[in-house]
Amino acid sequence: MSQKVAGVKGMNDLLPGEIEIWQHVEAQARELFGRFGYGEIRTPMVEDTALFVRSVGEETDIVGKEMYTFNDKADRSLSLRPEGTAPAARAYIEHSIANQEPLTRWFYAGPMFRYERMKTGRYRQFYQIGAEAYGAKEGAQDVEMMDMVVQFLERLGLKDITLNINSLGDEVCRPTYHAKLVEYLQAHREALCGDCQKRMEKNPLRVLDCKNEKCQAIAAAGPNVLESLCEPCRAHFDDVQRKLTALGVRHVVNPRMVRGLDYYTRTVFEFIASHPALGTASTVGAGGRYDKLVKSLGGPDAPAVGFACGLDRLVLLLKESGQQFTVRPDVFVAVADAGSHDAALVLASRLRREGLRVEFDTRGGSLKSQMKRADKSSAEFTLVLGEAERTSGQAKLKPMAGGEPIPVALDEVARVVRERKVVSA
């Protein structure tokens, strides 16, 4: 007996019964983001490794520990994308989008890859829906993006999610904060984990993002980044807060919050859920401003802001919500005798062309077994087709939830089903 082949650990199959939730989330995002003027882009799942080293940061855990990196047959170093912003920025530069339009709004949806320690809501192949806006340096763009996420989560019916915001300053004021932070961390160096002792030298902000409890306690008592903001960064952050308030978007200022990527400047934000189903993976969406990323990758000096939501975590929350996402078939077409099988196949095909969702078991079988399958399918109606129905052109729609059968002409089935669905709705 040959050995069974299993899927790759941390990369999950999405099957009918669950995939409907994913489709619902993606459909809600596409419709809503379109309202905000965002167009969809699709970038390759594989990029030049240098793209992520230069953008995400060589000292981040993502680049240093988590990327799936390999050499192709031309000996080029390639990586599966661990996040969506850097590929989008690369596409923005490569296609000279800045020369075509002053303000660009994009969104994307798809799989990302990181070799992480797995737990609930955190997998090695995970899915994100995200958006990027290029060309606007104003706080209004930051707020529009956060408002879009708020409306997205509301459309999904998700509650008890808190928006945390912070400002990391820019190239003018951040060095001052860095100096204060390094001085503080040096005084606690021996109590920090080994990784944070290394981070202190190259990117001290990474210490604030460490998951080690001792490091978190030390960081919490350290310097406040908001106290080091220069006047323009302070004005920008005040403007963001004022506009969020004007929109009625509740938020919490969290000066200890940073993002795990190097390209962020000024505004950063996270949407944090309190539901126990997520365990410690409570952030369902996050993002911020990255005004220098495009230029650092060889593009124009274009300000930008973006976010990403984790689909895996949103789906976990929706599973817990008790909402129903499976779409019921309209009709199950059953065959009463072998001579009616071809006619039933033709009828099912025609009803599908007329817009109905139709279940039909191509194997045939006894009418009793077909009726069991009809019941299991949760179809709203069952239509049995036999010689009598073929000859007369008349049949009966049996409501599977109970009730009297409905006489119907075979060429009027679609119309009658649609009318009955409207009445029941």
- For 19, 398, 425, the CA distances from 326, given in Å and listed in that order, are 9, 21, 16
Count of C-beta atoms within a 10 Å radius of residue 97 = 19
Helices (H) and strands (E) in the chain, counts: 16, 16
Q: Which residue is it, tokens 């390759």? A: 44
- 329 in Cβ contact with 106 (< 8 Å): no
Tokens for 199? Answer: 């981070």
**CA 193/CA 198 separation, integer angstroms:** 9
Residue 83 known to bind ligand: yes
Residue 359 annotated as binding site: no
| 198 neighbors 258 (Cβ within 8 angstroms) | no
Write the single-letter amino acid at 141.
Answer: Q
**Tokens for 86?**
């850097």
Task: Tell whether residue 85 is among the known ligand binding residues.
Answer: yes
The reply, when asked if residue 110 is annotated as ligand binding, is no
128 a known binding residue?
Answer: yes
> What tokens does 32 get?
């809503």
Question: What DSSP designation does 88 have?
Answer: H
What would you measure as the largest C-alpha separation in the chain, in angstroms? 92
Buried b (16+ CB within 10 A) or exposed e, 248-266: ebebeebbebbbbbbbbbb
Alpha helices in 53-193 (DSSP H): 61, 85-94, 139-155, 174-186
Helices 311-321 and 19-35, packing angle to 10 deg: 110
Q: Is 58 annotated as a binding-site member?
A: no
Q: Is 390 annotated as a binding residue?
A: no
Task: Give the dihedral of Cα atoms 187, 188, 192, 198; nearest 10 deg.
Answer: -10
Annotated ligand binding at 373? The verdict is: no
Cα–Cα distance for residue pair 91/96, rounded to 1 Å: 8
- Residue 26, annotated ligand binder? no
Binding residues for L-histidine, by number, are 83-85, 114, 128, 132, 259, 263-264
Binding residues, by number, are 83-85, 114, 128, 132, 259, 263-264
